[in-house]
A = this chain, B = another copy of it.
């Protein structure tokens, strides 16, 4: 945990409504940090469906493997999340820890272990002592209530400086349904998947296949389009739960992703993911600037994504932004190293709407004072026009500051 809140933290934190069928409780189990909550238990009603997307790391954490194995059942009753220890690279002990945690949770909630989903975040390589959950989860299951959303988001934080929540209300058929989400993650953030942990809940009656389809298409331009430091966690987990309780209020049951009644919901769902993903970028370790990279005129969207990521992950671009320097030369460098089709002499580059370079050279109207003033803004948009085709993409990142180095050079000890 960092002492001071990111200057990029959202100022309009929403009131989180209850979602029928979801109860939350948090506790301080002393996993790693003293005097702060580090366990979240979410208890879901019977009939809750589940979907998930995970890190593409070849060395995933034990909880990721647990969730992947249980997902095919498509149903969930409990989610246990701890911060402070990722239970990653912990060998057989890691697997035993997940099994023991799930057993403890299943007993507390009164469900099968296959209905328990797990996520852990924190230090890698240290065994997680799952006996610490003994008793704690039973107490939490009794204490769980429909509110506490922000407390829940706080319990899953590690180096985050603020809790991340988002909510949306939308019509499904003629009924009102709600989507609540939370996320954590401030470092080791890079697509495939992106944020370390995020959980989204809704009372909409969606089949697990529909939920999975919404997640899969939803992450592409949200969590997979942010990067803090190009490092991909072993623990990235995004789970979505649908209690279906809105069916009682007349919401139609949706079992096909192509169902036209899903359209407004899908849009709202995407909005919640986008909101949470942006908050993660805003809480990048040591960040002082939110950086939006837009690449247009690429040969394809995929090519635009690769170039945008090359820019967003370039340490030289990120340090220039930290220094409030509109260093388009480094942007050219990052375009060039992406390996994607680009023609130097067709490139145009803008910072916050001010074009600094066109046709492969400095813009003749370039005004240093005007650009310098614009670079003081806490939000910086870098727009690159390649002039080759119609491919366009957008990614979010943050600047690279000395604080990033300080946070990560003294994290474990």
Which of A's residues lie within 8 Å of B, judged by CB? 55-60, 86, 88-94, 123-127, 187-188, 190, 192, 229-234, 313-316, 319-320, 322-323, 325, 327-330, 332-342, 344-345, 347, 357, 359-362, 400-402, 404-406, 408-413
Query: Distance (Å) between the CB of A25 and the closest chain B CB?
Result: 29
Contacting residue for A336 out of B230, B232, B328, B338, CB 8 A: B232
Contacting residue for A229 out of B127, B188, B315, B328, CB 8 A: B315
Contact: A412 with B315, CB < 8 Å?
no
Contact: A360 with B329, CB < 8 Å?
no
Q: Could you say which of A90, A91, A192, A404 has the most chain B C-beta atoms within 10 Å of its C-beta?
A: A91
A230 vs B329: C-alpha distance when bound (angstroms): 16
Contacting residue for A188 out of B57, B126, B333, CB 8 A: B333
A296 vs B47: C-alpha distance when bound (angstroms): 49
24 contacts between A and B (CB under 8 A): A58-B336, A58-B342, A59-B333, A59-B335, A59-B344, A60-B336, A88-B332, A89-B332, A89-B360, A90-B362, A92-B361, A125-B329, A126-B362, A230-B314, A231-B337, A315-B404, A315-B408, A320-B409, A322-B405, A323-B408, A325-B410, A325-B413, A402-B402, A405-B405
Contact: A319 with B360, CB < 8 Å?
no
* Chain multiplicity (copies): 2
B contact residues around A234 at 8 Å (CB) = 332-333, 336
Residue of B nearest to A406 (CB): B402
A387 vs B345: C-alpha distance when bound (angstroms): 47
B contact residues around A361 at 8 Å (CB) = 89-94, 125, 127
A338 vs B192: C-alpha distance when bound (angstroms): 11
Contacting residue for A320 out of B320, B341, B412, CB 8 A: B412
Known contacts A92-B361, A126-B362, A359-B91: A409-B322 contact under CB 8 Å: yes
Q: Could you say which of A89, A91, A190, A231 has the most chain B C-beta atoms within 10 Å of its C-beta?
A: A89
Known contacts A57-B336, A405-B401: A412-B325 contact under CB 8 Å: yes
A127 vs B362: C-alpha distance when bound (angstroms): 8
Residue of B nearest to A344 (CB): B59
Contact: B231 with A316, CB < 8 Å?
yes
Q: Could you say which of A233, A314, A330, A359 has the most chain B C-beta atoms within 10 Å of its C-beta?
A: A330
